[in-house]
Structure 1
Amino acid sequence: MALFDLFRRRAAPPPPDPMELALAAFQRGDYAEALNLWEPLARAGDARAQSNIGACFAEGMGVERNPALALTWLTLAAEAGYPAGQRNLAALYLQGGGDAVEADPAHAAALYRQAAEQGDAQAQDMLSWMLLEGEVIPSDPEEAHRWALAAAEAGIASSMTRMGMLYHHALGVERDVAEAARWWRRGAGHGDADGQAMLGAAYVLGAGVEADPVTALAWLLRAQAGGSGLAQPFLGPARARLDDAGRAEAARRAALPLEEEGA
């Protein structure tokens, strides 16, 4: 028993993981501490730390915004093949960074594709959007659908809403208003304001779901509060179909926590 106690006293716990400590600091808003922990990792070649530092300089989190330093760190992470680094560098090139970083949307699209092909869901979402818009790279609705589906299944709400748009407008898929409403419901339930607006519109029009003005107005009010401009054209028609009690019920539902809406 004494030998066991001696062994137990000598068994030291493993040292804390600096990356985990940094992420915990970042999540509680202590960006300066996160940067202090990431810096030695980044200088030692850790692509994840390089990407995180670059993102902080790009967004001005814990440090003054510095596109030039963001470019340096994100390029290192991207060239190491780290998907989030490629995606963060793509975002920097998409918007540009003053004199330090000239906007290069075509290069951004290429970086998003590199990250998307490695399974980065946020990059898949952005690549899907770019393929649908067709302003930077040629429009390809079928490929846009493929990437949107991958991102949506990974939990990206904006891609869920985009899937609804693709089915509603028959872009890359056959038109299916019920499938569109199903995807809008998923996007709405995950908090996407545009998805909430389109689900509300579906309930106004009875497109893919049974018309229900109270449910319609509840989703449209929630979408409007979330900043979606897509809700505005449908608010008047939804209100016009309801009496004061119906409008009050819709407002009550719109104020509930999202999980209580029954999405």
Structure 2
Amino acid sequence: MRRAFYISAISAAIFLSSFHVSVADDYLKGVTAFEQGDHAVALSYWLPMAESGDAKAQYSLGKLYETGGQDGVVQYKEAIRWYLQAAEQGIAAAQNNLGRLFAQGLGADVDREKAVHYWQLASQSKHAMAQYNLGLAYFRGEGIEQNIEQSVFWFHQSANNGVGGAQYALGEVYRLGLSVPKDMGEARKWYKKSAETGNERAALKVIEVETVLAKEKREADAQAADALVEEVNTVAEKVEAEAKGSSVADKEIVTEQNQNVSPATSQVVALSIEMHPKPIKNPRRFAGVGTLFVSKPKPNPRR
């Protein structure tokens, strides 16, 4: 009995494994047919899978109906039907596309609040395009209260994931200083990234911003040169003023000293200088030898 149970379990596992391989293979065959433009073949693979609850097939069916359908005719209502089923199973791409269809009123009435709801779900799953769309909704105040700070946040999330539109939007944000300090260098950075994705408007903005930055640099250099000249002139004037002040102080000191000397004292000093006797050279008639002085010898009386 036990052996028979094990054999049945193993057989079931093999069957399920083969079934999953077959399903995955059918899905990829549908992808190949869709990319080749053979929507009828793609539909033949995806429809049974979608009806059995396969989320990827449901999303792919939604994409097929949105872009051409079985007969090459766009069917937005069918697209919404299958996107809704995929979105309920957490397929972020389906949630983003649902948001776009509701925002544009394709296959349903315009419902921007519902669009924002699906973009929020997809953004939480880090879907880059949904993050950009959510940023635009916050920026425009469509379907949600306008909030530039939140808009810039979601633009950053999307731009870091390589969405050229979000990168261009950030260039505008920094160029105009919307909820962030105006920064032409940062604006140029994001414009360049957007231009690298093929955005021609961004390429033109790069040229415009670089022209502004070059002009600002010239003006800054001129201001710096003027400031340097002014500083040098200020220092020179200070040195000259200090020199003049020192000269005046010296003159005042001399004048003050002269004023403190009385006329009588001046006459006494003058007389003492004039009446001082002239010194007598060697009054005792010493003959000098070197630095020593000895008496001059007397003449020999006896000869």
**What TM-score, normalized by structure 1, do the two folds share?**
0.69
SS in 2 for 1:226: coil
Number of the residue aligned with 2:47:
75
Number of the residue aligned with 2:146:
175
Post-superposition CA distance 1:210-258 (Å, at most 9, x none):
1111110111121122133663674454334211898xxxxxxxxxxxx
Q: 1:141: Cα distance to partner?
A: 1.3
**What's the C-alpha RMSD, in Å, of the aligned pairs?**
2.8
| Contact 1:203 1:209 survives alignment (8 Å) | yes
Number of the residue aligned with 1:84:
56
Which structure has the larger Rg over C-alpha atoms?
Answer: 2
| Contact 2:132 2:154 survives alignment (8 Å) | yes
Number of the residue aligned with 1:56:
32
Post-superposition CA distance 1:44-99 (Å, at most 9, x none):
xx3x4433321121113xxxx532210100111111111110111111111116x7
Number of the residue aligned with 1:120:
91
Aligned-residue identity in percent: 26
- Report how many aligned residue pairs link the two structures: 203
SS in 1 for 2:178: coil
SS in 2 for 1:241: helix
Where in structure 1 are there 5+ consecutive unaligned residues? 1-16, 21-36, 247-263
| Contact 2:192 2:203 survives alignment (8 Å) | no
Which deviates further from its counterpart, 184-193 or 126-135?
126-135
> After the TM superposition, which residues 56-205 of structure 1 pair with which residues of structure 2 at under 5 Å, given as runs?
56-60=32-36, 65-96=37-68, 100-205=71-176
Number of the residue aligned with 1:254:
none
Q: 1:108: Cα distance to partner?
A: 0.9
| Contact 1:130 1:136 survives alignment (8 Å) | yes
| Contact 2:75 2:107 survives alignment (8 Å) | no
SS in 2 for 1:115: helix
